[in-house]
Chain A
Amino acid sequence: MNVLDISSVTFSYDLPKDKENSGGNQYALKNFSMFVENGKIHALLGPNGAGKTTLMRIITGQLRGYSGSASIYGNKMPDKETLKLIGYAPQPISVYTTLTAKENLRFFGSMAGLQQELIKERANEVLEKTGLSAYSSKPVSTYSGGMLRRLNLAVALLHLPKLLLLDEPTVGVDPQSRNHIYETLAGLNESGVTILLCTHIMEEAQRLCSHVTLVDQGKDIFSGDMKEIDNLEAFFLERTGKGLRDV
């Protein structure tokens, strides 16, 4: 069974009038399709501006007004109930820096609809899992880059999601934190969590993921088994080209 099914999704941001006829691509996604199987770690790769974050936003219900179909466990997004099944760690570190880690988790746990007792229990578990227990009562503004990334992930894990969407979860972190995150993700996957991983780090994708989808200029240009690819970086450049992608 597919956890995630994306079928012929097309989406365009409102472009300024002067850019509409510039001849450039005005679609963030065009007839994009992919699927993620249950229990897998699936890589979503593409150059900057390819449409990865837009796809994440459509899946998580942040963007509406797309055509085609984006479904999670058969429910078309956006669907409030289905959101409870998703854990999303966006690329920007999206936590409240004046609050402590515990306060952040309590807040986001409440937003996910968890009871206070469960939030406490789960907060301790995810803080342990992400190695932040010792710092949980300190303001997040005092955290290092690696700790912030791990807290970003902890928030996504709090409500026991079945599908984890990660948008560049290891950007700007040291090898130790990165390795800690990899081990955490591998452990989660072993416990049955399906993961869609958006990344620019090819080694990361190849190490963790069993399947891969390449997206460029809003279109899916490859979907397949990671085992079929020897050198992911060479494959990526071959498919998407070596030209710079300044957005």
Chain B
Amino acid sequence: MILKQLKELIKKEMLILLRDRQTILLLFIMPVALILFLSLAMEGLWTDKLTGRKIQLVIENESNSFKANLLEEKIKSNEMIKHIVRPQGMNDDKIFADGKAHAVVTIPKGFDEGDNPVEIYFDPVIDAGYKIAARSLLTSLTVEVVMGIENLDAVVAGLVVEKTKPNKEFPTPLQQNVPAYAIFAMFFIAIPMSIGFLKEKKDGTLQRLFTYPVNTNLLILGKIIPYYLINILQFILMLLLGVYVMSHIISFSFNLGEHPWHMVPVTLVVAAATTGFGVLVASLARTPEQSSTLAATGAILMGVFGGIMIPHVLMPLFMKKLAMISPMYWSHQAYLDIILRDAAFGVILPKLIILTLFAGICFYIAGRRVKWI
């Protein structure tokens, strides 16, 4: 009988939840929109900063001599460069204003003879680091042509060696945003959860349940389990969206790291933390209006501090320390450990312990404060 009652309690809660369009919008549509649009917005920043987006160049070869043609070929065939054909009737300023290219390179008449240098006209708003990189590359290619060297990189290989570690800290837009906004939306479960509880209290259905031979603990479980399941469903859907849909829209792949199954315990614990937050809000608020304000404000602040809206890696040191007060930080870092750092379970475990403690504290305070009738 107990299991049957629990099943009916969960079913009732699910039906109420899933028939509420606003809840669906909040829990499922909002994170999809955030992941899509913020990833698109961040795409440019990431490509410029991290992966060396190809330098888009318009090349004007006014010389058409042997060396000029060789330089033009080298520039065009370089993997860092994307050759742009000047659109008809567009001057340099219009090209930059329309974002068609980053620079215009002119190989002038007399280049072979050394009379005139190669001219580079940069988009005036181009990032300084990007400008230096483009200039350095074009200088190298010009030196190769002028000095008759096949490959300058091969010549200096013995002189300069790069020993940079692979990136384990800077997530791509999808690595950042898919877990970030999945977590963000999971914390928003506090809104329907607390409103549902307070509405039941207000219209008397909760009190009515106490007139039936139902165990109070069963009622609590019947209130928590549906939201816990919805949280897990939210994460799974966002993950599938990231892997199978977003990676085709955004020019970054979204791989899950070497230990993707570590996401199972992480998601179970994060969902416990989010439902704990929901229970806490439900117990602290007195009206549905209060609860939605409290839950939304709490979730947004946790998101701001926790590296959801602004990537933690970009924060100044003080904010990085402050981020640790947010459970969203620990949740997000646990996922980044898996998808970015290929971390072993032992590395993730302390974060899971912190999140479990957060959930435990929320449930404890809620248990002390909640008034059923």
Contact = CB atoms under 8 A, between A and B. Distances in A.
Interface of A: 57, 60-63, 80-81, 83-84, 86, 88, 90-99, 103, 106-108, 110-113, 155
A99 B213 contact: no
Contacts of A60: 210-211
B contact residues, range: 20 to 34
Given A96-B12, A99-B15, A111 B207 contact: no
Nearest to A86: B211
Interface string B204-220: 11011111111000000
Q: Give chain B's interface secondary structure class.
A: helix
Interface in B194-245: 203-205, 207-214
Contacts of A86: 211
Given A62-B373, A99-B15, A110 B4 contact: yes
Contacts of B258: none
A9 B207 CA distance: 21
A98 B204 contact: no
Nearest to A83: B213
Interface string B323-364: 000000000000000000000000000000000000000000
Contacts of A96: 12, 16, 205
B127 interface: no
A92 B19 CA distance: 23
Contacts of A88: 208, 211
B119 interface: no
Nearest to A63: B373
A94 B207 contact: yes
A157 to B, nearest CB: 13
Leading 8 A-B pairs by shortest Cβ distance: A94-B204, A92-B204, A110-B8, A60-B211, A111-B212, A94-B208, A80-B213, A88-B211
A95 B200 CA distance: 9
Contacts of A81: 213
Nearest to B209: A111
Contact of B214 (A62, A91, A94, A111): A111
B93 interface: no
B247 interface: no
B212 A94 contact: no
A90 B208 CA distance: 7
Given A98-B19, A98-B20, A106-B8, A62 B205 contact: no
B204 A83 contact: no
15 contacts: A62-B211, A88-B208, A88-B211, A94-B204, A94-B205, A94-B207, A96-B205, A97-B203, A106-B8, A107-B8, A108-B208, A110-B7, A111-B212, A112-B213, A155-B208
